[in-house]
Structure 1
C-alpha cells in the first residue's frame, strides 16, 4: 500500500468513543491536505494516560491553523491557499460528541492565511504572503461576516531571501484587549485596537522593535498577562517582554534554535506559568525548554528531540502532556511532562495523521 493511502486509512480508522471519563477532553487537529488528508480531525484525549481515540473528520482545504470560540461551540479555521480562494471557515463544534458542522466561509482577500484569533466579537487572520491582517465580524449564530482587509506589515528586513516582501505571521488579542501582530519582514510587533463603530482597526503604532533579521513569528502571553514571549523564525531566539497598555519592553533575548537552522516555529507557556517551550525545525528538530524566573526572564533547562518538522505543539490543560505535530513524519508525538523540572518524555503513543500542523484542546 502506498504511504499516502496507508496514512489516510490509519487516520480514518476511528474507534467510536462513548461515555467519556472525566479525564477525557476533546482535541482537534488541523492538517495540510496536499497528501490526502481530510483536513480537520476530532479526537478524545485521555489526560491521565496520554492516549487519543479518533472520533470523526471534516473535509476542509488546508486548515493549517484554527481557534475555538470562547464557548468552544465554534471553530474558526483558515484555508491556507496562496491565491484568491483563501478563506476563513466557521465550523460548529459539538463538545459532547466531538462532531463538526460547517457553517460558512469568507474570503480573506489575503494570500496564505496562517493564523487566526478571536475575542468573540471579531476574528482576525494573519495572511503571510500578503503581509496583511483581515478582520471578520462574528455574527450572532457564530458565522462570519465579510472581511475587512487591514494592511499592517512592510518589507525591509536585512534578510533579502525571506524579508524582501511583506509578511504577517500572527495576530493575537492581548489580555487588555489590544491587538498585537508580528511583522515578519519589518522586524516589528504592531499594536491595534478594533473600532466597532467604524469596523476598522485603529493603528496604535509599534509595540516593539525586534532585532533586524529576526523574522518575528509567534507571540504568547504569560498566564498573569504581565509578560509576553516572542519566537522569531530566522534568528531562532525567544524574546522576553514586560507588557503594559499596548507596549512591550524587552527584558531578554535567548537562543532556542542552537542549530542555527532559521526554523523557529511555535511557542507556549505551561498552564502554571512556570515553563516556556519553543519548537525549532529544519536541523536538530525539537522542543527547547525554559524555566520562567520570578521577573519573567527565562533560563534554558533542556531540550527534547522530536520527529521531523515540529510545526506546532500543545500542552494539555492539566499540564501533564505535551503533544507535538511533526508535519514531515505524519504523526503527533505524545510526551509526558514533569511539572517540577519541565522535562519531557516520549510515551510512544503516536497519533498517525497525514501532515498534522495544528493541535488545540477544547477550552475548559
Structure 2
C-alpha cells in the first residue's frame, strides 16, 4: 500500500511540477497593424500546449509592428512606416512588464521583416519599399542597437505592377549564411558575415555575397525555409502562388520542383504569404491569401521534394503569417483581414490539420512567434 501511495504522489508531483524541458505552455507574441485598426501594437499571450487555449498576458505599444523576432529574453519588431517612422524596436521581455530598450531607424521605407542570427547578436532588417537590407548588431548585453551597414539593391522583374524595383522581403539564416529574398527581381542573395574586431561595438561588420539564386521569373520571392538537413530550400512565390524547391548539389542550388498553392481550376488572385517546415521535418505548410485564403499541406519526401497532401480553409481572410508551436502540436494562422487567429490541431503522425474551433481575437494580426 505504501508503494502504491508513493507512486500516486510521484505522478501527482510530476503533473504539478513537470521536469525541465517538458513544456506545458509557451509565450506567444503577435504583431499587428495599428494604423486605423484600433490595435495598440504587440500582444503577448500564454499558450496552453495541452488544450490549445490562450491567456492574454500584456500589450506592448508599438506602431505597426508587422514582423517580430525573438532570441531568449529579447524581442525585435520592425515598425512598418516610411522616413523616420521606419524603425527597429528592441524590447526586454524577461517579465510581463516589458521594456523598450532601444530604437533605431532602418534607413529604408516600410521594413517588413527582421531576423536574428543564430547567436542572437546580429539582426537583419528587410526594407520592402526602400529596396534595402539593414545590418545591426546588439551590444551591451543585447540592450543597444548599432547600425553597421545598409545594402541597396537595383533591378526589377516582369510584373509591371509589383516589380518595378527591388523589394527586399525577408532574410533567413541557415548554416551561418544569410538568405535574402528580393521580391522585385526574383532573386535570393546569399551572404556570409565577417567582422574585423573582437567587439561588435567596434570594427566593421559586413555582409559578403557568396552567390545568387535565381527564382521563378515574375514569381516574387517572399519567404523561405529549409529542410531538416539544410540541403533543400523552399521559397514561396507571392505573385504566382507557388513554392519553388531548390536542392544544394556540389555547392550549387538547383531548381528541382515547382508546386502550386491553390490546386487545379483556381482562377482568383494569388497571394503566397508564408512557408514553414514542421519541427519533425516531415511536413511543409504554406499560406495563400489573395482570393484563396488557404493553408496548404505537403509531405516532405526523403529526397526533399514535396508531395501534395491537403488544403484547408483558414476560416477567415488574409492569412499573412502562421506559426507552428515548438512541439509541433498546433498551427496558428493570423488572418489579417478578419482580425483573428485560428487555431488548428496538428496530427503528430500525418501532419494533418483539424480546426479546433478556437479563435484569438486580435486587430489585424500579421505575425505570430513563440
The answer, yes or no, to whether TM exceeds 0.5 is: yes
Closer, same or farther in 2 for the Cα pair 1:246/1:129, shift >3 Å?
Answer: farther
Q: Which residue of 1 aligns with 2:8?
A: none
* 2:115 alignment partner, one of 114, 117, 138: 117
Q: Contact 1:107 / 1:146 at 8 angstroms: preserved in 2?
A: no
How far off its partner does 1:167 sit?
Answer: 0.4
Q: Contact 1:40 / 1:59 at 8 angstroms: preserved in 2?
A: yes
- Distance in 2 (alpha carbons) for counterparts of 1:55 and 1:277: 28
- Distance in 2 (alpha carbons) for counterparts of 1:262 and 1:110: 27
How far off its partner does 1:152 sit?
Answer: 4.9
Q: Contact 2:157 / 2:165 at 8 angstroms: preserved in 1?
A: no
- Distance in 2 (alpha carbons) for counterparts of 1:214 and 1:282: 14
Which of structures 1 and 2 has the bigger CA Rg?
A: 2
List gaps (5 residues or longer) in structure 2: 1-15, 197-203
Closer, same or farther in 2 for the Cα pair 1:99/1:25, shift >3 Å?
Answer: farther
Paired residues for 1:8-27 under 5 Å: 22-27=23-28
Coordinate RMSD, CA, aligned: 1.8
1:350 pairs with 2:359: yes
Closer, same or farther in 2 for the Cα pair 1:247/1:132, shift >3 Å?
Answer: farther
Q: Which residue of 2 aligns with 1:38?
A: 40
User: For 2:337, what is the secondary structure of its paired residue?
Assistant: helix
* 1:228 alignment partner, one of 227, 233, 245: 233
How far off its partner does 1:318 sit?
Answer: 1.2
Q: Which residue of 2 aligns with 1:150?
A: 150
Q: Contact 2:270 / 2:292 at 8 angstroms: preserved in 1?
A: no
Q: Which residue of 2 aligns with 1:266?
A: 274
- Distance in 1 (alpha carbons) for counterparts of 2:107 and 2:183: 19
1:28 pairs with 2:29: yes
- Distance in 2 (alpha carbons) for counterparts of 1:289 and 1:42: 28
- Distance in 2 (alpha carbons) for counterparts of 1:245 and 1:105: 42
Q: Which residue of 2 aligns with 1:319?
A: 328
- Distance in 1 (alpha carbons) for counterparts of 2:341 and 2:262: 21
How far off its partner does 1:295 sit?
Answer: 0.2
Larger RCO of the pair (alpha carbons < 8 Å, separation 6+):
1
- Distance in 2 (alpha carbons) for counterparts of 1:60 and 1:146: 20
- Distance in 1 (alpha carbons) for counterparts of 2:139 and 2:194: 16
1:255 pairs with 2:255: no
How far off its partner does 1:149 sit?
Answer: 4.1
- Distance in 2 (alpha carbons) for counterparts of 1:165 and 1:156: 4
Q: Which residue of 2 aligns with 1:14?
A: none
User: For 2:66, what is the secondary structure of its paired residue?
Assistant: coil
Q: Contact 2:178 / 2:191 at 8 angstroms: preserved in 1?
A: yes
User: For 2:358, what is the secondary structure of its paired residue?
Assistant: coil
Give every structure 1 segment of 4 or more consecutive aligned residues whose post-TM-superposition deviation is greater than 6 Å.
none
How far off its partner does 1:265 sit?
Answer: 0.1
Q: Contact 1:42 / 1:99 at 8 angstroms: preserved in 2?
A: no
Q: Contact 2:149 / 2:205 at 8 angstroms: preserved in 1?
A: no
Q: Contact 2:122 / 2:138 at 8 angstroms: preserved in 1?
A: yes
Q: Which residue of 2 aligns with 1:162?
A: 162
Q: Which residue of 2 aligns with 1:173?
A: 173
Could you list the per-position Cα deviations for residues 230-278 of structure 1 after superposition, in whole angstroms to 9, with x for gaps in the alignment? Answer: 1110111111122379742222111113435220000010110000000
Could you list the per-position Cα deviations for residues 70-96 of structure 1 after superposition, in whole angstroms to 9, with x for gaps in the alignment? Answer: xx11001100113332111110112xx
User: For 2:85, what is the secondary structure of its paired residue?
Assistant: coil
* 2:214 alignment partner, one of 209, 212, 217: 209
- Distance in 1 (alpha carbons) for counterparts of 2:77 and 2:177: 22
Q: Contact 1:150 / 1:201 at 8 angstroms: preserved in 2?
A: no
Q: Which residue of 1 aligns with 2:93?
A: 93
List gaps (5 residues or longer) in structure 1: 1-18
User: For 1:339, what is the secondary structure of its paired residue?
Assistant: coil
1:182 pairs with 2:184: no
1:200 pairs with 2:206: yes
Q: How many residues align?
A: 337
* 2:54 alignment partner, one of 36, 52, 55: 52
Range that drifts further, 37-46 or 75-84: 75-84
Paired residues for 1:301-340 under 5 Å: 301-306=309-314, 307-340=316-349
Closer, same or farther in 2 for the Cα pair 1:333/1:298, shift >3 Å?
Answer: same
Could you list the per-position Cα deviations for residues 203-240 of structure 1 after superposition, in whole angstroms to 9, with x for gaps in the alignment? Answer: 2231x111210100001112221221111101111111
